[in-house]
Structure 1
């Protein structure tokens, strides 16, 4: 059993290992519309393919158990990386209870592909040295200390999954938590897909921009000055005067 992160959408962003397993496994279970159909075309002829969007966890595990009993390899394909909001533990707990061995194959997360789409760096010296990953949801309970309003108090870069449908509420929470209405915001819809949409704005107008493009799902929100930095403080890492264990400095030149 392989739980595979298939990346944000572009088949070229599959890892070599993910591609090899998708091409070789006997049974494919993929995460519905979140997985690019082009990736499914890599499955070998004759493989069984199941859309997990139509299934509950018991039905998914029945398919896996049946395949295991028949000696077949299973590729469970997630979008992005299964370690970030991938309901990973839900599945591995079942597999462990059933005695089915598994391996998790990490994938490229939309966290980084969206940053690439926006042309930004999530951390920048003198601007933000931390990234907070959060989710927006009306249905899934979130501890009070992890509410977006509370997390906003840090003022660092924040990346918000599954919240585009409640963008107005999220903007209010971010401003109530301490971000200025002038804080830069980036929104990326279906990062790396052919129909990708990239929007840059401010907290004061991002909800309007999102509504104008009619984006209600499958988008990531990135908040913070890194989206549109007012200045760039160059990193110390490659500064000729910065000494570390691999590079000494003498008169401004590498030894």
Structure 2
């Protein structure tokens, strides 16, 4: 049998891919991150499926469940929040499965930052404003950041920033960004994007920390920073320019 790493999307039960929903319906064992997922996502599972909440388990304990399910000949799904390619611990888990001789595959999901951008109706790559998106995080009680990936270095690009795992350090992060982006630069914070508890805060580099602290946000929030978030910003795409030469 194969262990399936499946992106659960931002949390809404109807934002899973068709493939993900089908895998959940077929699975004998489902491991899921209870901290970040709306319980309604699990409605896609069979009633007799074994459900394991991983929020209090370390990687070795999680791997033990994956290997045990595989050895019993069960279909095993390991749900990740958002998309498995970003902050999902996919690398660590698959290394352990390779060592145990367990096969695995990956099914992508809707990234949480994409759901956040959709919620506020903004494109993150606006012509003449920002053509790059930097997905990063803040350093707190977490794995150290590489020396080459400082927030100051990313800020120097003035690309649209997507910040994960940074909500408890919003004030410090905004202080670091103010020099490059300016205190008036738009910022959007989306807590539990697409879920029933969703909360959207709109502000600027200069005032968003006050809003975050007043709302008492401590986890499960995405921070978007950049001039692309301004409704009237930017030019028009050359790709769709009427005068651009096109092949016939």
The match for 1:172 among 171, 175, 180 is: 175
Q: Secondary structure, in 3 states, of the residue corresponding to 2:200?
A: strand
Q: Is it true that 1:86 corresponds to 2:67 in the alignment?
A: no
Counterpart in the other structure of 1:155: 158
CA contact (8 A) 1:28 1:47 kept: yes
Paired with 2:147 and 2:68, the residues of 1 have a C-alpha distance of: 41
1:144 to partner: Cα distance: 2.6
Greater shift in the superposed pair: 142-151 or 192-201: 142-151
Counterpart in the other structure of 2:72: 70
1:219 to partner: Cα distance: 0.5
Q: Secondary structure, in 3 states, of the residue corresponding to 1:126?
A: coil
Q: Secondary structure, in 3 states, of the residue corresponding to 1:3?
A: strand
Pair 1:35–1:231, CA change in 2 (3 A): closer
Paired with 2:232 and 2:25, the residues of 1 have a C-alpha distance of: 46
CA contact (8 A) 1:144 1:150 kept: no
**TM-score normalised over the length of structure 2:** 0.95
Paired with 2:170 and 2:109, the residues of 1 have a C-alpha distance of: 27
Q: Is it true that 1:191 corresponds to 2:193 in the alignment?
A: yes
Measured on the aligned residues, the alpha-carbon RMSD in Å equals: 1.2
1:221 to partner: Cα distance: 0.5
Counterpart in the other structure of 2:129: 127
Q: Secondary structure, in 3 states, of the residue corresponding to 1:128?
A: coil
1:228 to partner: Cα distance: 1.1
Q: Secondary structure, in 3 states, of the residue corresponding to 2:238?
A: coil
1:68 to partner: Cα distance: 1.2
Query: CA-to-partner distance for each residue in 1:33-84, whole Å, 9 max, x for gaps?
Result: 2111001122112111101112111111111111111110100011100110
Counterpart in the other structure of 2:243: 241
1:229 to partner: Cα distance: 4.5
The match for 1:59 among 51, 58, 61 is: 61
CA contact (8 A) 1:3 1:102 kept: yes
**TM-score normalised over the length of structure 1:** 0.93
Paired with 1:59 and 1:83, the residues of 2 have a C-alpha distance of: 22
The match for 2:47 among 22, 45, 48 is: 45
Paired with 2:240 and 2:91, the residues of 1 have a C-alpha distance of: 40
1:230 to partner: Cα distance: 4.5
Q: Structure 1 stretches of 5 or more lacking a match?
A: 249-255
CA contact (8 A) 2:126 2:233 kept: no
Query: CA-to-partner distance for each residue in 1:152-188, whole Å, 9 max, x for gaps?
Result: 0111111100101110110111124x22111111111
CA contact (8 A) 1:81 1:108 kept: yes
CA contact (8 A) 1:145 1:151 kept: no
CA contact (8 A) 1:14 1:108 kept: yes
Q: Structure 2 stretches of 5 or more lacking a match?
A: none
1:145 to partner: Cα distance: 2.2
